[in-house]
Chain A
Amino acid sequence: MGAVPGWLWAALGIALGAQIAVQALRSPPPAAAADLPPAPSAAALKVASVGEPAAAARLAMLYLQAFDLGAGNTLPYRRLDYARLRAWLRAILDTDPQSNYPLFAAARVYAEVDDPARVRVMLDFIHEAYLEAPNRRWAALAHAALIAKHHLKDLPLARRYAADIERLTTDPGVPLWARQMEVFILEDMNELEAAKIMLGGLLESGRLRDPGERRFLKGRLEELERRMSERRRD
Protein backbone atom coordinates (compact mmCIF):
# COMPACT_ATOMS: atom_id res chain seq x y z
CA MET A 1 0.00 0.00 0.00
CA GLY A 2 2.85 2.35 0.87
CA ALA A 3 4.20 2.04 -2.67
CA VAL A 4 1.06 3.67 -4.09
CA PRO A 5 1.76 7.38 -4.75
CA GLY A 6 -0.43 9.93 -3.00
CA TRP A 7 -1.82 11.43 -6.21
CA LEU A 8 -3.15 7.98 -7.18
CA TRP A 9 -5.01 7.71 -3.85
CA ALA A 10 -6.52 11.12 -4.51
CA ALA A 11 -7.45 10.22 -8.10
CA LEU A 12 -9.13 7.02 -6.93
CA GLY A 13 -11.04 8.86 -4.19
CA ILE A 14 -12.18 11.65 -6.55
CA ALA A 15 -13.29 9.18 -9.26
CA LEU A 16 -15.24 7.11 -6.72
CA GLY A 17 -16.85 10.22 -5.23
CA ALA A 18 -17.81 11.47 -8.72
CA GLN A 19 -19.35 8.11 -9.61
CA ILE A 20 -21.45 8.07 -6.41
CA ALA A 21 -22.51 11.70 -6.94
CA VAL A 22 -23.57 11.06 -10.56
CA GLN A 23 -25.59 8.00 -9.52
CA ALA A 24 -27.17 9.81 -6.55
CA LEU A 25 -28.24 12.75 -8.73
CA ARG A 26 -29.82 10.49 -11.33
CA SER A 27 -33.60 10.32 -10.83
CA PRO A 28 -34.97 6.81 -10.20
CA PRO A 29 -36.47 5.05 -13.24
CA PRO A 30 -40.17 5.91 -13.75
CA ALA A 31 -42.78 3.31 -12.76
CA ALA A 32 -43.40 0.89 -15.60
CA ALA A 33 -46.18 2.73 -17.37
CA ALA A 34 -45.02 1.64 -20.81
CA ASP A 35 -47.22 -0.72 -22.76
CA LEU A 36 -46.65 -4.37 -22.20
CA PRO A 37 -44.49 -5.63 -25.08
CA PRO A 38 -45.84 -8.49 -27.22
CA ALA A 39 -45.48 -11.86 -25.53
CA PRO A 40 -42.74 -14.21 -26.68
CA SER A 41 -43.72 -17.70 -27.73
CA ALA A 42 -43.31 -20.49 -25.20
CA ALA A 43 -40.69 -22.04 -27.51
CA ALA A 44 -38.68 -18.81 -27.51
CA LEU A 45 -38.92 -18.59 -23.72
CA LYS A 46 -37.68 -22.17 -23.48
CA VAL A 47 -34.70 -21.44 -25.72
CA ALA A 48 -33.89 -18.33 -23.66
CA SER A 49 -34.13 -20.35 -20.45
CA VAL A 50 -31.23 -22.59 -21.63
CA GLY A 51 -32.72 -25.66 -19.98
CA GLU A 52 -34.09 -23.96 -16.83
CA PRO A 53 -37.80 -23.53 -17.65
CA ALA A 54 -38.94 -23.52 -14.00
CA ALA A 55 -36.68 -20.59 -13.11
CA ALA A 56 -37.36 -18.78 -16.40
CA ALA A 57 -41.15 -19.04 -15.99
CA ARG A 58 -41.05 -17.58 -12.49
CA LEU A 59 -38.65 -14.80 -13.46
CA ALA A 60 -40.93 -13.98 -16.40
CA MET A 61 -43.84 -13.72 -13.94
CA LEU A 62 -41.84 -11.27 -11.80
CA TYR A 63 -41.09 -9.27 -14.96
CA LEU A 64 -44.80 -9.24 -15.83
CA GLN A 65 -45.69 -8.12 -12.30
CA ALA A 66 -43.38 -5.12 -12.70
CA PHE A 67 -45.92 -3.68 -15.15
CA ASP A 68 -48.50 -3.27 -12.43
CA LEU A 69 -47.62 -4.18 -8.86
CA GLY A 70 -44.74 -1.71 -8.92
CA ALA A 71 -47.21 1.16 -9.04
CA GLY A 72 -48.67 0.14 -5.68
CA ASN A 73 -52.35 0.24 -6.63
CA THR A 74 -54.79 -1.55 -8.89
CA LEU A 75 -55.35 1.32 -11.30
CA PRO A 76 -52.50 0.41 -13.72
CA TYR A 77 -53.97 -3.08 -14.25
CA ARG A 78 -56.76 -1.45 -16.19
CA ARG A 79 -54.27 0.21 -18.48
CA LEU A 80 -52.69 -3.08 -19.47
CA ASP A 81 -53.45 -4.63 -22.82
CA TYR A 82 -55.21 -7.76 -21.61
CA ALA A 83 -54.84 -9.62 -24.91
CA ARG A 84 -51.07 -9.27 -24.57
CA LEU A 85 -51.24 -10.05 -20.88
CA ARG A 86 -53.11 -13.26 -21.64
CA ALA A 87 -50.51 -14.20 -24.28
CA TRP A 88 -47.74 -13.63 -21.71
CA LEU A 89 -49.50 -15.76 -19.11
CA ARG A 90 -50.11 -18.47 -21.72
CA ALA A 91 -46.44 -18.51 -22.77
CA ILE A 92 -45.27 -18.64 -19.15
CA LEU A 93 -47.69 -21.43 -18.30
CA ASP A 94 -46.54 -23.39 -21.35
CA THR A 95 -42.90 -22.89 -20.31
CA ASP A 96 -43.55 -24.52 -16.93
CA PRO A 97 -46.99 -26.19 -16.98
CA GLN A 98 -46.62 -27.34 -13.38
CA SER A 99 -46.28 -23.83 -12.01
CA ASN A 100 -49.36 -22.31 -10.42
CA TYR A 101 -48.04 -18.75 -10.56
CA PRO A 102 -49.65 -17.58 -13.85
CA LEU A 103 -53.09 -18.86 -12.82
CA PHE A 104 -52.79 -17.43 -9.32
CA ALA A 105 -51.90 -14.03 -10.78
CA ALA A 106 -54.71 -14.28 -13.37
CA ALA A 107 -57.34 -15.17 -10.75
CA ARG A 108 -56.22 -13.11 -7.80
CA VAL A 109 -54.58 -10.08 -9.39
CA TYR A 110 -55.56 -9.47 -13.01
CA ALA A 111 -59.19 -10.66 -12.77
CA GLU A 112 -59.93 -8.34 -9.87
CA VAL A 113 -60.24 -5.14 -11.92
CA ASP A 114 -63.41 -3.14 -12.47
CA ASP A 115 -63.51 -3.62 -16.23
CA PRO A 116 -65.84 -6.58 -17.07
CA ALA A 117 -64.31 -7.09 -20.54
CA ARG A 118 -60.85 -7.50 -19.05
CA VAL A 119 -62.15 -9.74 -16.28
CA ARG A 120 -63.71 -12.01 -18.89
CA VAL A 121 -60.39 -12.29 -20.75
CA MET A 122 -58.74 -13.55 -17.57
CA LEU A 123 -61.59 -15.89 -16.64
CA ASP A 124 -61.51 -17.39 -20.11
CA PHE A 125 -57.76 -17.93 -19.82
CA ILE A 126 -58.20 -19.64 -16.45
CA HIS A 127 -60.96 -21.88 -17.81
CA GLU A 128 -58.90 -22.83 -20.86
CA ALA A 129 -55.90 -23.67 -18.63
CA TYR A 130 -58.10 -25.60 -16.19
CA LEU A 131 -59.35 -27.90 -18.95
CA GLU A 132 -55.73 -28.96 -19.63
CA ALA A 133 -55.04 -30.10 -16.03
CA PRO A 134 -58.20 -30.07 -13.88
CA ASN A 135 -56.72 -31.73 -10.79
CA ARG A 136 -53.89 -29.23 -10.57
CA ARG A 137 -55.75 -26.06 -11.52
CA TRP A 138 -59.21 -26.34 -9.94
CA ALA A 139 -58.50 -23.70 -7.24
CA ALA A 140 -58.01 -20.96 -9.83
CA LEU A 141 -61.25 -21.88 -11.61
CA ALA A 142 -63.12 -22.01 -8.28
CA HIS A 143 -62.04 -18.44 -7.64
CA ALA A 144 -62.98 -17.56 -11.22
CA ALA A 145 -66.50 -18.91 -10.56
CA LEU A 146 -66.81 -16.64 -7.53
CA ILE A 147 -65.63 -13.65 -9.59
CA ALA A 148 -68.17 -14.49 -12.30
CA LYS A 149 -70.94 -14.60 -9.70
CA HIS A 150 -70.06 -11.63 -7.50
CA HIS A 151 -68.18 -9.23 -9.80
CA LEU A 152 -69.65 -9.94 -13.22
CA LYS A 153 -73.06 -10.98 -11.82
CA ASP A 154 -73.02 -13.63 -14.54
CA LEU A 155 -74.59 -16.61 -12.81
CA PRO A 156 -74.71 -18.86 -15.92
CA LEU A 157 -70.96 -18.41 -16.41
CA ALA A 158 -70.30 -19.11 -12.71
CA ARG A 159 -72.46 -22.25 -12.91
CA ARG A 160 -70.66 -23.41 -16.04
CA TYR A 161 -67.29 -23.12 -14.28
CA ALA A 162 -68.70 -24.81 -11.17
CA ALA A 163 -70.12 -27.66 -13.22
CA ASP A 164 -66.76 -28.17 -14.93
CA ILE A 165 -65.01 -28.38 -11.55
CA GLU A 166 -67.51 -31.00 -10.36
CA ARG A 167 -67.33 -32.96 -13.59
CA LEU A 168 -63.61 -32.97 -14.36
CA THR A 169 -61.80 -32.74 -11.00
CA THR A 170 -61.19 -36.26 -9.74
CA ASP A 171 -58.50 -35.67 -7.08
CA PRO A 172 -59.86 -36.97 -3.72
CA GLY A 173 -57.89 -34.25 -1.89
CA VAL A 174 -60.18 -31.54 -3.27
CA PRO A 175 -62.34 -29.97 -0.49
CA LEU A 176 -66.04 -30.77 -0.31
CA TRP A 177 -67.23 -27.28 -1.23
CA ALA A 178 -65.24 -27.49 -4.47
CA ARG A 179 -66.60 -30.93 -5.32
CA GLN A 180 -70.07 -29.45 -4.82
CA MET A 181 -69.19 -26.16 -6.41
CA GLU A 182 -72.51 -25.64 -8.19
CA VAL A 183 -74.43 -25.84 -4.90
CA PHE A 184 -71.83 -23.55 -3.35
CA ILE A 185 -72.37 -21.03 -6.14
CA LEU A 186 -76.15 -21.20 -5.91
CA GLU A 187 -76.20 -20.75 -2.12
CA ASP A 188 -77.36 -17.36 -1.00
CA MET A 189 -74.17 -16.12 0.61
CA ASN A 190 -72.28 -12.90 0.09
CA GLU A 191 -68.83 -12.59 -1.44
CA LEU A 192 -67.06 -12.33 1.92
CA GLU A 193 -68.63 -15.51 3.31
CA ALA A 194 -67.81 -17.40 0.13
CA ALA A 195 -64.23 -16.12 0.11
CA LYS A 196 -63.78 -17.12 3.77
CA ILE A 197 -65.03 -20.66 3.14
CA MET A 198 -62.78 -20.93 0.09
CA LEU A 199 -59.70 -19.75 1.97
CA GLY A 200 -60.46 -22.13 4.83
CA GLY A 201 -60.87 -24.97 2.35
CA LEU A 202 -57.58 -24.17 0.66
CA LEU A 203 -55.80 -24.16 4.01
CA GLU A 204 -57.45 -27.42 5.01
CA SER A 205 -56.51 -29.13 1.73
CA GLY A 206 -52.85 -28.23 2.34
CA ARG A 207 -52.61 -26.27 -0.90
CA LEU A 208 -51.84 -23.02 0.85
CA ARG A 209 -48.38 -23.59 2.28
CA ASP A 210 -46.58 -20.64 0.75
CA PRO A 211 -46.27 -17.86 3.38
CA GLY A 212 -46.26 -15.15 0.69
CA GLU A 213 -49.46 -16.50 -0.86
CA ARG A 214 -51.10 -16.80 2.57
CA ARG A 215 -50.15 -13.21 3.39
CA PHE A 216 -51.45 -12.01 0.02
CA LEU A 217 -54.79 -13.81 0.35
CA LYS A 218 -55.23 -12.66 3.94
CA GLY A 219 -54.65 -9.09 2.78
CA ARG A 220 -57.25 -9.51 0.05
CA LEU A 221 -59.74 -10.92 2.57
CA GLU A 222 -59.21 -7.97 4.92
CA GLU A 223 -59.65 -5.57 2.02
CA LEU A 224 -62.91 -7.31 1.06
CA GLU A 225 -64.07 -7.16 4.68
CA ARG A 226 -63.33 -3.43 4.79
CA ARG A 227 -65.09 -2.78 1.49
CA MET A 228 -68.20 -4.67 2.58
CA SER A 229 -68.41 -2.95 5.95
CA GLU A 230 -68.11 0.41 4.17
CA ARG A 231 -70.90 -0.62 1.80
CA ARG A 232 -73.07 -1.63 4.76
CA ARG A 233 -72.45 1.74 6.45
CA ASP A 234 -73.43 3.58 3.24
Chain B
Amino acid sequence: MPPTLLLSRSVLLEARRSGLPWLVLGLLAAALGLAAFLSQVAVTEGRELQAAFAAALLRAGAAFLLAAHVAASVVREANDKVLELALALPLSRSEYYVGKLVGYGAVGVALAAASALPLLLWAEPAAVALWGASLAAELLLVAAASLFFAVTLANVVPAIAATAGLYLLARAMAAIQLLARGPLAEPTWTQALARGAVDAVALLLPRLDAATRSEWLLYAVPAPREYLGVVGALLLYSTLLCAAGLFDFHRRNL
Protein backbone atom coordinates (compact mmCIF):
# COMPACT_ATOMS: atom_id res chain seq x y z
CA MET B 1 0.00 0.00 0.00
CA PRO B 2 1.42 3.46 -0.87
CA PRO B 3 2.54 5.47 2.20
CA THR B 4 -0.06 8.17 1.54
CA LEU B 5 -2.88 5.64 1.79
CA LEU B 6 -1.32 4.01 4.86
CA LEU B 7 -1.31 7.42 6.53
CA SER B 8 -4.92 8.03 5.52
CA ARG B 9 -5.92 4.66 6.96
CA SER B 10 -4.25 5.52 10.26
CA VAL B 11 -6.18 8.82 10.33
CA LEU B 12 -9.46 6.92 9.83
CA LEU B 13 -8.53 4.43 12.55
CA GLU B 14 -7.69 7.27 14.92
CA ALA B 15 -11.08 8.89 14.24
CA ARG B 16 -12.92 5.62 14.80
CA ARG B 17 -11.15 4.95 18.10
CA SER B 18 -11.55 8.52 19.39
CA GLY B 19 -14.71 10.03 20.87
CA LEU B 20 -15.81 11.29 17.45
CA PRO B 21 -18.38 8.52 16.71
CA TRP B 22 -20.06 9.17 20.07
CA LEU B 23 -20.14 12.90 19.43
CA VAL B 24 -21.72 12.27 16.02
CA LEU B 25 -24.36 10.07 17.67
CA GLY B 26 -25.02 12.87 20.17
CA LEU B 27 -25.36 15.37 17.33
CA LEU B 28 -27.83 13.12 15.49
CA ALA B 29 -29.88 12.65 18.66
CA ALA B 30 -29.91 16.39 19.34
CA ALA B 31 -30.97 17.20 15.77
CA LEU B 32 -33.77 14.61 15.76
CA GLY B 33 -34.98 15.57 19.23
CA LEU B 34 -35.00 19.32 18.64
CA ALA B 35 -36.62 18.94 15.20
CA ALA B 36 -39.40 16.80 16.74
CA PHE B 37 -39.94 19.38 19.49
CA LEU B 38 -40.10 22.34 17.08
CA SER B 39 -42.54 20.55 14.80
CA GLN B 40 -44.94 20.29 17.76
CA VAL B 41 -44.90 24.07 18.14
CA ALA B 42 -45.36 24.86 14.44
CA VAL B 43 -48.90 25.38 13.11
CA THR B 44 -47.92 24.59 9.53
CA GLU B 45 -44.98 23.34 7.46
CA GLY B 46 -43.98 20.89 10.20
CA ARG B 47 -42.11 18.61 7.79
CA GLU B 48 -40.28 21.54 6.21
CA LEU B 49 -39.38 22.95 9.62
CA GLN B 50 -37.95 19.63 10.77
CA ALA B 51 -35.97 19.11 7.56
CA ALA B 52 -34.60 22.67 7.45
CA PHE B 53 -33.70 22.79 11.14
CA ALA B 54 -32.14 19.32 11.27
CA ALA B 55 -30.19 19.98 8.06
CA ALA B 56 -28.87 23.31 9.37
CA LEU B 57 -27.88 21.84 12.74
CA LEU B 58 -26.28 18.70 11.27
CA ARG B 59 -24.35 20.72 8.70
CA ALA B 60 -22.93 23.16 11.25
CA GLY B 61 -22.37 20.42 13.84
CA ALA B 62 -20.53 18.15 11.40
CA ALA B 63 -18.29 21.03 10.29
CA PHE B 64 -17.47 21.97 13.90
CA LEU B 65 -16.77 18.38 14.99
CA LEU B 66 -14.49 17.75 12.04
CA ALA B 67 -12.59 21.04 12.46
CA ALA B 68 -12.07 20.35 16.18
CA HIS B 69 -11.02 16.75 15.54
CA VAL B 70 -8.48 17.72 12.86
CA ALA B 71 -6.98 20.57 14.91
CA ALA B 72 -6.70 18.45 18.09
CA SER B 73 -5.22 15.49 16.21
CA VAL B 74 -2.60 17.52 14.31
CA VAL B 75 -1.50 19.57 17.34
CA ARG B 76 -1.29 16.47 19.55
CA GLU B 77 0.91 14.73 16.95
CA ALA B 78 3.19 17.76 16.83
CA ASN B 79 3.41 17.95 20.65
CA ASP B 80 4.14 14.21 20.94
CA LYS B 81 6.91 14.49 18.33
CA VAL B 82 5.07 11.98 16.11
CA LEU B 83 5.50 14.43 13.24
CA GLU B 84 9.31 14.36 13.54
CA LEU B 85 9.19 10.57 13.70
CA ALA B 86 7.00 10.36 10.58
CA LEU B 87 9.25 12.72 8.65
CA ALA B 88 12.31 10.63 9.59
CA LEU B 89 10.75 7.78 7.58
CA PRO B 90 11.16 7.61 3.77
CA LEU B 91 8.15 9.85 3.35
CA SER B 92 8.19 13.28 1.72
CA ARG B 93 6.49 16.23 3.39
CA SER B 94 3.97 16.41 0.53
CA GLU B 95 3.09 12.73 0.93
CA TYR B 96 2.64 13.19 4.67
CA TYR B 97 0.42 16.28 4.28
CA VAL B 98 -1.71 14.86 1.44
CA GLY B 99 -2.05 11.52 3.25
CA LYS B 100 -3.37 13.32 6.31
CA LEU B 101 -5.77 15.42 4.23
CA VAL B 102 -7.12 12.37 2.35
CA GLY B 103 -7.70 10.66 5.71
CA TYR B 104 -9.53 13.65 7.19
CA GLY B 105 -11.48 14.00 3.94
CA ALA B 106 -12.59 10.36 4.31
CA VAL B 107 -13.69 11.10 7.89
CA GLY B 108 -15.65 14.03 6.41
CA VAL B 109 -17.35 11.73 3.88
CA ALA B 110 -18.39 9.36 6.71
CA LEU B 111 -19.69 12.34 8.73
CA ALA B 112 -21.65 13.62 5.71
CA ALA B 113 -23.24 10.19 5.18
CA ALA B 114 -24.23 9.98 8.86
CA SER B 115 -25.68 13.51 8.73
CA ALA B 116 -27.65 12.88 5.53
CA LEU B 117 -29.25 9.64 6.69
CA PRO B 118 -31.84 11.10 9.12
CA LEU B 119 -32.96 13.63 6.49
CA LEU B 120 -34.54 10.73 4.58
CA LEU B 121 -37.35 11.02 7.14
CA TRP B 122 -38.51 14.30 5.58
CA ALA B 123 -37.01 14.65 2.09
CA GLU B 124 -36.75 12.77 -1.20
CA PRO B 125 -33.78 10.36 -1.47
CA ALA B 126 -32.39 12.14 -4.57
CA ALA B 127 -32.40 15.51 -2.80
CA VAL B 128 -30.80 13.97 0.30
CA ALA B 129 -28.10 12.33 -1.85
CA LEU B 130 -27.24 15.68 -3.50
CA TRP B 131 -27.25 17.43 -0.13
CA GLY B 132 -25.02 14.73 1.38
CA ALA B 133 -22.53 14.81 -1.51
CA SER B 134 -22.34 18.60 -1.25
CA LEU B 135 -21.78 18.31 2.53
CA ALA B 136 -18.97 15.81 1.90
CA ALA B 137 -17.25 18.34 -0.41
CA GLU B 138 -17.88 21.10 2.16
CA LEU B 139 -16.36 18.96 4.94
CA LEU B 140 -13.31 18.26 2.79
CA LEU B 141 -12.87 22.03 2.59
CA VAL B 142 -13.31 22.34 6.38
CA ALA B 143 -10.74 19.56 6.91
CA ALA B 144 -8.31 21.31 4.55
CA ALA B 145 -8.83 24.63 6.36
CA SER B 146 -8.45 23.11 9.81
CA LEU B 147 -5.33 21.17 8.76
CA PHE B 148 -3.85 24.34 7.28
CA PHE B 149 -4.52 26.43 10.40
CA ALA B 150 -3.43 23.65 12.80
CA VAL B 151 -0.12 23.17 10.98
CA THR B 152 0.48 26.92 10.66
CA LEU B 153 -0.67 28.07 14.12
CA ALA B 154 0.38 24.89 15.99
CA ASN B 155 -2.29 25.49 18.64
CA VAL B 156 -5.75 23.96 19.04
CA VAL B 157 -7.86 26.96 20.06
CA PRO B 158 -6.47 29.45 17.49
CA ALA B 159 -6.77 26.78 14.77
CA ILE B 160 -10.44 26.06 15.59
CA ALA B 161 -11.20 29.78 15.92
CA ALA B 162 -9.59 30.57 12.56
CA THR B 163 -11.41 27.70 10.83
CA ALA B 164 -14.74 28.72 12.38
CA GLY B 165 -14.15 32.34 11.34
CA LEU B 166 -13.39 31.38 7.75
CA TYR B 167 -16.38 29.01 7.63
CA LEU B 168 -18.94 31.44 9.08
CA LEU B 169 -17.69 34.36 7.02
CA ALA B 170 -17.85 32.28 3.84
CA ARG B 171 -21.42 31.24 4.64
CA ALA B 172 -22.57 34.79 5.41
CA MET B 173 -20.57 36.67 2.77
CA ALA B 174 -23.26 36.73 0.05
CA ALA B 175 -25.75 38.23 2.52
CA ILE B 176 -23.14 40.73 3.73
CA GLN B 177 -22.55 41.80 0.11
CA LEU B 178 -26.31 42.24 -0.33
CA LEU B 179 -26.41 44.33 2.83
CA ALA B 180 -23.58 46.53 1.52
CA ARG B 181 -25.54 47.13 -1.68
CA GLY B 182 -28.86 47.70 0.10
CA PRO B 183 -31.21 50.54 -0.95
CA LEU B 184 -30.42 52.45 2.25
CA ALA B 185 -26.68 52.50 1.52
CA GLU B 186 -25.65 56.10 0.93
CA PRO B 187 -23.60 56.92 -2.19
CA THR B 188 -20.61 58.30 -0.26
CA TRP B 189 -16.94 57.46 -0.80
CA THR B 190 -16.73 55.70 2.58
CA GLN B 191 -19.66 53.52 1.59
CA ALA B 192 -18.01 52.77 -1.76
CA LEU B 193 -14.78 51.92 0.08
CA ALA B 194 -16.60 49.58 2.47
CA ARG B 195 -18.39 47.90 -0.44
CA GLY B 196 -15.09 47.48 -2.29
CA ALA B 197 -13.48 45.97 0.83
CA VAL B 198 -16.38 43.51 1.25
CA ASP B 199 -16.14 42.53 -2.42
CA ALA B 200 -12.36 42.07 -2.12
CA VAL B 201 -12.75 39.78 0.92
CA ALA B 202 -15.46 37.83 -0.94
CA LEU B 203 -12.98 37.13 -3.75
CA LEU B 204 -10.80 35.23 -1.28
CA LEU B 205 -13.60 33.13 0.19
CA PRO B 206 -15.45 30.04 -1.04
CA ARG B 207 -19.20 30.38 -1.78
CA LEU B 208 -20.38 28.21 1.09
CA ASP B 209 -23.80 29.90 1.07
CA ALA B 210 -24.48 28.28 -2.30
CA ALA B 211 -23.51 24.78 -1.09
CA THR B 212 -25.46 22.16 0.91
CA ARG B 213 -28.64 24.24 0.81
CA SER B 214 -31.63 23.08 2.82
CA GLU B 215 -33.85 24.50 0.03
CA TRP B 216 -32.77 21.48 -2.05
CA LEU B 217 -34.45 19.26 0.54
CA LEU B 218 -37.60 21.38 0.81
CA TYR B 219 -38.40 22.70 -2.65
CA ALA B 220 -36.40 21.42 -5.61
CA VAL B 221 -32.99 20.00 -6.40
CA PRO B 222 -30.63 22.34 -8.27
CA ALA B 223 -29.97 22.09 -12.00
CA PRO B 224 -27.01 19.74 -12.73
CA ARG B 225 -24.91 22.60 -14.08
CA GLU B 226 -25.50 24.74 -11.01
CA TYR B 227 -24.81 21.82 -8.65
CA LEU B 228 -21.59 20.80 -10.37
CA GLY B 229 -20.47 24.43 -10.35
CA VAL B 230 -21.03 24.67 -6.59
CA VAL B 231 -19.29 21.37 -5.74
CA GLY B 232 -16.49 22.13 -8.21
CA ALA B 233 -15.88 25.47 -6.49
CA LEU B 234 -15.62 23.71 -3.11
CA LEU B 235 -13.08 21.23 -4.48
CA LEU B 236 -11.12 24.08 -6.06
CA TYR B 237 -10.94 25.95 -2.76
CA SER B 238 -9.91 22.74 -0.95
CA THR B 239 -7.06 22.42 -3.47
CA LEU B 240 -6.07 26.04 -2.78
CA LEU B 241 -6.02 25.40 0.97
CA CYS B 242 -4.02 22.21 0.44
CA ALA B 243 -1.48 24.09 -1.71
CA ALA B 244 -1.22 26.88 0.88
CA GLY B 245 -0.77 24.32 3.66
CA LEU B 246 1.89 22.44 1.70
CA PHE B 247 3.67 25.72 1.00
CA ASP B 248 3.83 26.55 4.70
CA PHE B 249 4.72 22.97 5.66
CA HIS B 250 7.65 22.89 3.22
CA ARG B 251 9.11 26.22 4.27
CA ARG B 252 9.03 25.41 8.01
CA ASN B 253 12.17 24.36 9.83
CA LEU B 254 11.24 21.14 11.65
Contact = CB atoms under 8 A, between A and B. Distances in A.
A20 interface: no
B147 interface: no
B39 interface: yes
A50 B168 contact: yes
Contacts of B59: 52
A210 B52 CA distance: 15
B43 A51 contact: no
Contacts of A98: 215, 218-219
- The SS class assigned to the A binding surface is helix
Interface string B161-203: 0000000100110111011001000000000000000000000
B43 A104 contact: yes
B173 to A, nearest CB: 9
Contacts of A101: 42, 44-45
Nearest to A47: B175
Contact of B44 (A41, A54, A100): A100
Nearest to B40: A212
A41 B159 CA distance: 33
A58 B52 contact: yes
Given A51-B171, A58-B48, A216 B178 contact: no
A223 to B, nearest CB: 14
A62 B48 CA distance: 13
A53 to B, nearest CB: 8
Contact size range, B: 20 to 34
Contacts of B47: 209-210
A198 interface: no
B53 A47 contact: no
A59 interface: yes
A99 interface: yes
Contacts of A44: 179
A214 to B, nearest CB: 9
| Max chain A Cβ within 10 angstroms of own Cβ: one of B44, B208, B214 | B44
Contacts of A210: 44-47
Interface string A30-64: 00000000000101101101111111101101100
B52 A55 contact: yes
A96 B208 CA distance: 18
Contacts of A62: 38, 41-42, 49
Interface in A89-146: 96, 98-101, 104-105, 108-109
A101 B171 CA distance: 24
A52 B42 contact: no
B209 interface: yes
Contacts of A109: 43
Contacts of B218: 54, 98
B56 interface: yes
